[in-house]
Amino acid sequence: MQYKMKKTITIAIPCYNEERNIVQIYDKVESIVKYIRKYNFEYMFVDNGSIDKTKKIIKQLIKKHSNVYGIFLSRNFGPEASGMACHEHANGDAVIGIAADHQDPPELIPQFIKKWEDGYDVVMGSYIKNQDNFFMTYIRKMFYFIFKKIANIDVPINMTGFGLLDKKVILALRSLPEKYRFARGLTAWVGFKRILIPYERKKRLEGKSSYGFFDYIKNAERGVFGFSYLILDLMVYGGIMIVFFSFLFIIVYLYTVIVIGNPIKASIPTILAIVFFGGIQLLAISIIGKYIQVIVEETKNRPMYIIEEISNQKN
């Protein structure tokens, strides 16, 4: 009699300076998945160059538990890099990504797995409410609302990185060569059968988030410049309109000068015109510069991250 081997699900936990949350998130997730006996579960912690005791605590967990291993990056390469490391080093037939800060409820994991069993390849959380400060909540909502309108793909509003991806989705994401990555956009871009699970996002359990306002801005840039050409289109259309109205103004002005003389005696209109068109040109050059920056980042072909150490009980 042949016995069918159990499938493995990897619980991928990226972390940065989460020394007070590592053990708690492991215990919490383990208390839930230990009752799902039809699968083997492994835990992969990706430490993004933490400067506190995160690495030490992960290694302590590795010594205690045979299903835990750690990927330790040589420095902090940013959240997109740690997410990519999770995808590239996960061994499971499915990967469940969850942050170490306890903002995402592990209680949804059985529901994710059930939807996966029902045939969904991408099962992602989508928060309908969160307990972050009002300003950041509003900024995020506005970004995703605008991004959904201008992007050349359909990215669900409020989709998070908390969820389950089938192995074939992971392999598709691994195959993408780009370095200037916006993970949520790429997850939507690769396609496959998708479903969103709504939930309420909580406050951090311990510690303070290292992800600040300017990190959100950089992430927004990745989304806009990686998945939309609308800004370039607007520059073209805006340029055509400005040229048209400028040409019209020249004709009217020359006609007025010939008929009644020069009606503009002061230099203020000239100065305003110079400032206005100079500002437009500077904005246009800056936007083109951002797209060139993306091209430069890609042509450098540097890896998204460097691994300092891979640790498990076998080494």
pLDDT digits (tens, 9 = 90+) for 247-300: 777 677 677 767 776 666 655 566 666 767 777 777 777 777 777 777 777 777
Residues 6+ apart with CB under 8 A from 172: 190, 192
Give the type of residue at 170: I
So what's the pLDDT on residue 210?
55
Band (pLDDT 50/70/90 cuts) for residue 118 is confident
Amino acid identity of residue 194, one-letter, is R
User: Which two structure tokens, joined as six digits, stand for 65?
Assistant: 């538990």
- Separation between Cα atoms, residue 95 and residue 90, nearest integer Å: 7
- Which run of H or of E encompasses 57? helix 54-64
CATH superfamily of 8-227+303-311: Spore Coat Polysaccharide Biosynthesis Protein SpsA; Chain A (3.90.550.10)
* Cβ proximity of 94 and 7 under 8 Å: yes
Query: What does the pLDDT read at residue 60?
Result: 85
pLDDT at 1: 36
Question: Longest C-alpha distance within the chain, in Å?
Answer: 104
Task: Output the pTM of the full model.
Answer: 0.71
The tokens for 275 are 């400032």
DSSP secondary structure, 30-85, as one string: HHHHTT-TTEEEEEEEEE-S-SSSHHHHHHHHHHH-TTEEEEEESS---HHHHHHH
Domain boundaries, the chain: 8-227+303-311, 230-300
- Reported as half-sphere exposure (CB side, CA atoms, 13 A), residue 15 has a value of 37
Is the distance from CB of 36 to CB of 113 less than 8 angstroms?
Answer: yes
pLDDT tens digits for 212-236? 556 666 666 666 666 666 776 777 7
Which element (helix H / strand E) includes 155? none
What number is the average pLDDT over the span 2-19?
A: 78
Residues 202-217 as b or e (16 or more Cβ within 10 Å = b):
bebeeeeeeeeeeeee
What is the Cα–Cα distance from 24 to 50, expressed in whole angstroms?
A: 17
The pLDDT value recorded for residue 2 is 43
